[in-house]
């Protein structure tokens, strides 16, 4: 019995990680029909932000260090949200109505972000700053001209390579200088470890097993995020606008809702949530450039099973997949059937075969496919004539 409760607790804690990671994805998918393959990398950015904040607090000593989390969470939210905003304004808004292309574009962003974290150093940072100053500065100056629309394409075609070339030149000149502090990568490809504050280490004993504080913290954080998102969507003005656009985009546009702003805001919100998720997972293990990749497919499955545009679906799906994953992967199910005697031996063998975390994924996927045979639209599908074109 206590094994089952322990299994459930662990399952819920895995589920809440999935849920917090999938929350942003689900909101963005519900509003714009866009699956963001860079969502995992936004999580990774959140995790690295946590690492940076933690490193900044380290010299301050004990009582202060324990509080870094309360700065790290908003910082992760802001960094990931800002990145999401840039992504939406820079790429995704050009691709609305072409979800498959968006998928590929966000994968490109995900590759760039991963490599960026690996190789970022002062030189690269300076290069990027120089490029942005030249390119966007140039654009800003040129856009004041009255014939801007006419020369726009030419301006981009000339400005882009010129500012790129200058940025590369500046970077390589600094590199020639050979300052070690400048050329050393900030993070490199190696994983970094986030030290949790002392009050998150250890755990509480319940019914003969350990509930780690870190896991409890993540569950609490997920609940807070859920309440926050629910409040935002259902009680705030912008939430109302988001829901309006979600239901009927063109009608909302006609009624004067700035749909472009709504899209940008939603995307930033979804990305910010990814940042918080990243902050949360940084307490569970070390953080590396590939951190996001390990969560991403599971979170997609949460969105698929949960259905579109419904928080409840996402919650149930996240919890369900998390619990199933843990129960199968840890062999808890096999343990349950074991005392039932010889007759259940094949069942036990069957569950033992899947009792590793990677084989559990195989089983869960099979279950998801089976589930989709019964409910192709997810747990709470949209009904009505508008549901399918």
Partner 1 sequence: MALGTTIGIHKRKQQQRRQIIEGAIVIAIALIFVVILPALIPAFRLRSLGRFLALAIVALGIDLIWGYTGLLSLGHGIFFALGGYAIAMHLNLQLPEGQLPEFFTLYGVDRLPWFWEPFNSFPFTILALVIIPGIVAGLLGYLVFRNRIKGVYFSILTQAALIVFYNFFNGQQELINGTNGLKTDTERIFGVLASSPQAQRTFYILTILSLVAVYYLCRWLTSGRFGRILIAIRDDETRVRFTGYNPTGFKVLVFAISGAIAGIAGALYTVQTGIITPSAMEVAFSIEMVIWVAVGGRGTLIGAILGTLIVRLAQTFLSERYPESWLFFQGALFLIVVTVLPNGIVGLFRDLIGEKGRSLLGFRRKSFTYPSLEEDPEVQEEEEELSPR
Partner 2 sequence: MKQGKILEIENVTVSFDGFKALNQLSFSMDAGELRVIIGPNGAGKTTFMDVITGKVQPTEGKVIFDGRNLRRLPEHKIARLGIGRKFQTPRVYLNLTVRENLDLVCSRNKDVFPTLFGRPSAAEMRTVSGLLETIGLEAKANLPAALLSHGEKQRLEIGMLVAQSPDLLLVDEPAAGLTDEETDNLAALLLSLAKSHSIIAIEHDMEFVRQIANNKVTVLHQGSVLCEGSMDEVQNDPRVIEVYLGQPQEEIQQQELEKVSHESSH
Determine, following the binding rule CB under 8 A, whether residue 97 of this chain makes contact with partner 2.
Answer: no
SS3 145: coil
Do 51 and 192 contact (CB within 8 A), yes or no?
yes
As a residue count, the chain comes to: 389
Least Å from the CB of residue 387 to partner 2: 8
How many beta carbons lie within 10 A of that of residue 245, not counting itself?
22
Helices in the chain by DSSP H: which ranges?
2-32, 39-57, 62-65, 68-90, 99-119, 122-142, 148-177, 180-183, 213-235, 237-247, 249-254, 259-281, 291-306, 311-329, 332-337, 345-353, 357-374
Helix (H), strand (E) counts: the chain: 17, 2
Return the closest-CA partner of residue 228 out of 73, 58, 42: 73
**What secondary structure letter does DSSP report for 212?**
E
Site string for partner 1, 342-381 (x = CB under 8 A): --------------x-xx-xx--x--xx--xx--x-----
Q: Which helix (H) or strand (E) holds 316?
A: helix 311-329
Residues in region 330-389 near partner 2 by CB under 8 A: 383-385
Query: Virtual CA dihedral for 49, 53, 56, 57, nearest 10 degrees?
Result: -160
Least Å from the CB of residue 314 to partner 2: 19
Return the closest-CA partner of residue 120 out of 48, 57, 193, 43: 48
Determine, following the binding rule CB under 8 A, whether residue 254 of this chain makes contact with partner 2.
Answer: no
SS3 242: helix
Number of residues that bind partner 2 (CB under 8 A): 3
Residue of 35, 71, 211, 335 that binds partner 1 (CB under 8 A): 35
β partners of residue 204? 211
Q: Which is nearer to partner 1, 358 or 386 (CB)?
A: 358
Q: List the Cα angle 325/226/231 in 5-degree steps.
A: 160
Least Å from the CB of residue 388 to partner 2: 8
Least Å from the CB of residue 383 to partner 2: 4
Joined tokens for residue 196: 């949790």
Least Å from the CB of residue 384 to partner 2: 4
Site string for partner 1, 56-95 (x = CB under 8 A): -----------------------------------x--xx
Site string for partner 2, 37-76 (x = CB under 8 A): ----------------------------------------
Least Å from the CB of residue 38 to partner 1: 10
Residue 293's binding partner out of partner 1, partner 2, none, with CB under 5 to 8 Å set by partner kind:
partner 1
Least Å from the CB of residue 51 to partner 1: 21
Q: Which is nearer to partner 2, 235 or 385 (CB)?
A: 385
Q: Which is nearer to partner 1, 35 or 335 (CB)?
A: 35
Least Å from the CB of residue 109 to partner 1: 7
Site string for partner 1, 108-127 (x = CB under 8 A): xxxxx-xxx-xx--------
Q: Which helix (H) or strand (E) holds 257?
A: none
**What secondary structure letter does DSSP report for 192?**
B
Q: Which helix (H) or strand (E) holds 228?
A: helix 213-235
- Terminal Cα-to-Cα distance of the chain (whole angstroms): 49
Q: What does the binding site for partner 1 look like in residue numbers (CB under 8 A)?
A: 29, 33-35, 91, 94-95, 99-105, 107-112, 114-116, 118-119, 293, 297, 300-301, 303-304, 356, 358-359, 361-362, 365, 368-369, 372-373, 376, 388-389
Query: Which residue ranges make up the site for partner 2 (CB under 8 A)?
Result: 383-385
């Amino acid at each position: 019995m206590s094994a089952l409760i322990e299994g459930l607790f662990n399952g819920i804690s895995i589920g809440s990680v999935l849920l917090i990671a999938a929350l942003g994805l689900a909101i963005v998918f519900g509003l714009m029909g866009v699956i963001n393959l860079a969502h995992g990398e936004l999580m990774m950015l959140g995790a690295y932000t946590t690492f940076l904040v933690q490193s900044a607090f380290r010299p301050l000593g004990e009582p202060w260090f324990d509080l870094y989390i309360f700065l790290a969470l908003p910082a992760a939210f802001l960094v990931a949200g800002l990145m999401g905003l840039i992504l939406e304004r820079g790429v995704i808004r050009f691709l609305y109505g072409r979800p498959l292309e968006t998928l590929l574009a966000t994968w490109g962003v995900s590759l760039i972000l991963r490599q960026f974290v690996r190789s970022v150093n002062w030189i690269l940072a300076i290069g990027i700053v120089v490029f942005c100053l030249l390119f966007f500065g140039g654009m800003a100056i040129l856009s004041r001209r009255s014939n801007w629309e006419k020369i726009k394409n030419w301006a981009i075609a000339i400005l882009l390579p010129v500012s790129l070339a200058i940025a590369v030149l500046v970077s390589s000149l600094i590199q020639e200088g050979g300052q070690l502090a400048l050329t050393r990568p900030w993070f490199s490809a190696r994983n970094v470890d986030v030290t949790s504050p002392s009050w998150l280490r250890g755990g509480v004993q319940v019914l003969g097993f350990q509930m780690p504080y870190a896991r409890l913290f993540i569950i609490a954080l997920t609940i807070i995020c859920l309440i926050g998102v629910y409040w935002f969507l259902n009680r705030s003005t912008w939430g109302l606008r988001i829901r309006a656009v979600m239901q009927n985009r063109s009608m909302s546009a006609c009624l004067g809702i700035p749909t472009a702003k709504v899209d940008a805001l939603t995307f930033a919100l979804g990305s910010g949530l990814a940042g918080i998720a990243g902050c949360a997972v940084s307490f569970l293990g070390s953080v590396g450039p590939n951190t996001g990749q390990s969560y991403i497919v599971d979170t997609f499955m949460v969105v698929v099973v949960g259905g579109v545009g419904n928080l409840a679906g996402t919650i149930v799906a996240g919890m369900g997949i998390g619990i199933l994953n843990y129960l199968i992967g840890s062999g808890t199910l096999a343990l349950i059937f074991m005392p039932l005697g010889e007759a259940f031996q094949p069942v036990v063998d069957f569950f033992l075969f899947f009792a590793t975390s990677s084989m559990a994924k195989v089983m869960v996927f099979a279950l998801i496919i089976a589930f989709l045979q019964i409910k192709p639209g997810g747990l709470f599908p949209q009904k009505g004539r508008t549901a399918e074109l």
